[in-house]
Structure 1
Amino acid sequence: MSDAWTWRYEDADGRVVTPEGVPTGSFPTQSDAESWLGEEWRTLLDHGVDAVRLLEHDAEVYGPMSLRPAQ
């Protein structure tokens, strides 16, 4: 099984961003990717990531998903 699952990071305007110090690796399963995000979303938000999209290879699975808490 390959590491096919990745997150695409976006700023508040929907532009793709790659903030310094934020991991850009991939994950072997969707569950692994989602678990990692559940642990790291605050760090991503602190680095200017406003939303994420989950990709399997190059196909979007879902998103954009805001990292901001619901108001």
Structure 2
Amino acid sequence: MAETFKNGQMLWKLEGNDRALHLRHHDSEPWRPYEEFPEYRLPDPEGFSKGIATFLALLKQDWTAIKS
């Protein structure tokens, strides 16, 4: 049986030479870049990994961070 998470899961994936945040709401869904979730996306400070602002905000909302 697939596990459902309260608010979703987050994972960092390599994109070229940098890491980028990927999200999903349920473990049966594929990982998608955080840019595909405009309802969560926040602008990132210059020089940081793509999605860091979104990651920190979602972490505060009890999203689950998965080790990559």
Structures share fold, TM-score greater than 0.5: no
Using the size of structure 2 for normalisation, the TM-score is 0.32
Q: Give the structure with the larger strand fraction.
A: 2
Q: Give the structure with the larger helix fraction.
A: 1
Using the size of structure 1 for normalisation, the TM-score is 0.31
